[in-house]
Structure 1
């Protein structure tokens, strides 16, 4: 049996898919021997030749293991995809955990002893460079099959707005939920579909206008669950959000779904305004742009296809060389 060349140590399901599983699957397609999981096998820990990619290693037990591996001269790559030093109190459980002084100290210590650090964006790279100068910006990528998939959208005249994501977006919906609600008030044949977290409840909509899908078994199932006509990506101007990636927009684009997104950070840099979607700069523009897309199926198709072509440049096969360089040096 060949030695494991890379072990991906996951800390969660969704980020673990995009930042551990998918990259290691792509490396395996190139002939590398890779394994990933939430628990580290003894044969990985005992083999100093195995590169270990650790996702957001910061809890006390995992930190002790990480520091021990560093002392034993394992090649460690610290993977982080959010600015965990600036979470917002509106996401109470997330903020409480990452604001803890021990967790903050562990993040810094574990970054410092790594041979390399991988991040999703340049602002996040700037955040971690004081602790480790060997930072690799490897943008989020979607699986190649996604750009060939046609989502199963409603065909009964109802327009579905859609959003999916983690429990770190309370402030975004508190800021932008009102204008999106106004669009739904004006369009009786429209609904909203939230996946993962039901932020549509923030808007006080009648239940019949909301569809909610709780977080599903894995990310590939989630991607098959996306059935929107129009993706929405509200984002508050906040220091935490400056380091986020445009993943929600890329997922929708790969499926041929145009997106209306806040003109903030990651979306400003990715969305081609008026071509692959719309960027919202003021509250009234939510209603304006959502109405334009809801009322014009040809526009939705044209923008969706442009968005798909854009997303095809950000599939995992396109970005595997960046992962290979970061992991193997």
Structure 2
């Protein structure tokens, strides 16, 4: 099948929602054609030659005009979104770009795109339920899956009794850091336990001492090996609307490296647990649960084994059939217009 892919190269999430699955589909024999628009015009001639065009996030008037044209040419349209733009809180670093009046305009554009699409997908059941309530297009959930190389990253655990707690997070998670009061929790661990090291990747945790390290960022191609240096990975989420609509990819990233994880019982994590190599932590129990896992090397080894097994089952090649089914569904629905 010939697939046109429209994604904004500046959106990091498009790696999981477009690049990884579509490259895997190409490896399986599909003819995948890319239009990674940023400021350039759409490659309309190329896109209208496709059986289906997969659109990640575009909702602006130009995107709507393009999709109307593609529909008129008989091209199937599959639209995908993976963030709850309507729920960006005022305190978030994302609010200026996506909140308030601008956010309302974005949601209106998204609804217009859904009304033009033959199929709508999202990695979040919360978003899927909302989109189904709009009753504009068929909606299904397709999870985020890992690149195939992730489970092959060799674990490089801390030496001796040292235990490294790592949090790989975007800047927007500064809100979670503050709402859950995690800075004093992590600082106290560093102050009272010389075994503990803390690494903040992406998000600056602003901890004191030479056993805290901040890394500004890591490329996706290097993320598996980087995460595999953690002894414990954490994924805290404040219980707010935007977080309830997130995907579970963060703990999958930890798990693929055999890293036991601790996460908030919010949104994508609420049904996960020890079977997937981690534990859920209530808001007021982070100090206790971190200390408990730091002290229990046997539990970490047991969880790491389970995490690795789950991580291997969460790669794109293990799950690419759901993306191929999406292709067939979009084309079939387009044929019934």
TM-score if structure 1 supplies the norm length? 0.88
Residues 159 and 185 from structure 1, CA distance in 2 versus in 1: closer, same or farther, beyond 3 angstroms? same
Counterparts in 2 of 1:108-127, with a 5 A limit? 108-127=111-130
Cα distance in 1 between the residues matched to 2:163 and 2:87: 36
Q: Is the 8 A contact 2:88 2:94 kept in 1?
A: no
1:80 is matched with 81
1:90 is matched with 91
- Deviation digits for residues 150-206 of structure 1, max 9, x if unmatched? 2333326432111223233232111221433333333233222122232x12xxx21
1:150 is matched with 154
Q: Is the 8 A contact 1:78 1:111 kept in 2?
A: yes
The one of 189, 196, 204 equivalent to 2:202 is: 196
Q: What RMSD in Å do the two structures reach over aligned CA positions?
A: 2.3
Cα distance in 2 between the residues matched to 1:141 and 1:326: 15
Q: Is the 8 A contact 1:56 1:79 kept in 2?
A: yes
1:168 is matched with 172
Cα distance in 2 between the residues matched to 1:174 and 1:158: 27
Cα distance in 1 between the residues matched to 2:171 and 2:55: 22
The one of 103, 112, 126 equivalent to 2:106 is: 103
1:51 is matched with 52
The one of 9, 20, 23 equivalent to 1:22 is: 20
| Secondary structure in structure 1 of the residue aligned to 2:165 | strand
1:319 equivalent in alignment to 2:316: no
Give 1:240 shift.
1.3
Which runs of no fewer than 5 residues in structure 1 stay unpaired? Answer: none
Give 1:322 shift.
0.9
2:333 is matched with none
Cα distance in 1 between the residues matched to 2:119 and 2:214: 39
Which runs of no fewer than 5 residues in structure 2 stay unpaired? Answer: 330-337
Cα distance in 2 between the residues matched to 1:267 and 1:256: 17
Cα distance in 2 between the residues matched to 1:296 and 1:53: 46
| Secondary structure in structure 2 of the residue aligned to 1:77 | strand
Residues 166 and 328 from structure 1, CA distance in 2 versus in 1: closer, same or farther, beyond 3 angstroms? farther
2:334 is matched with none
Q: Is the 8 A contact 2:147 2:315 kept in 1?
A: yes
Cα distance in 2 between the residues matched to 1:267 and 1:58: 28
Residues 156 and 9 from structure 1, CA distance in 2 versus in 1: closer, same or farther, beyond 3 angstroms? farther
| Secondary structure in structure 1 of the residue aligned to 2:143 | coil
Counterparts in 2 of 1:172-321, with a 5 A limit? 172-176=176-180, 177=182, 178-198=184-204, 200-201=205-206, 205-206=207-208, 208-216=210-218, 218-226=219-227, 227-272=229-274, 276-283=277-284, 285-321=285-321
Cα distance in 2 between the residues matched to 1:126 and 1:233: 24
TM-score if structure 2 supplies the norm length? 0.86
Residues 103 and 257 from structure 1, CA distance in 2 versus in 1: closer, same or farther, beyond 3 angstroms? same
Q: Is the 8 A contact 2:123 2:143 kept in 1?
A: yes
Residues 210 and 271 from structure 1, CA distance in 2 versus in 1: closer, same or farther, beyond 3 angstroms? same
For this pair of structures, how many residues does the alignment match? 318
1:139 is matched with 143
Q: Is the 8 A contact 1:108 1:131 kept in 2?
A: no
Off by >4 Å, runs of 4+ in structure 1: none
Give 1:63 shift.
4.0
Residues 90 and 31 from structure 1, CA distance in 2 versus in 1: closer, same or farther, beyond 3 angstroms? same
Give 1:14 shift.
2.8
| Secondary structure in structure 2 of the residue aligned to 1:161 | strand
Give 1:37 shift.
4.8
Cα distance in 1 between the residues matched to 2:68 and 2:188: 52
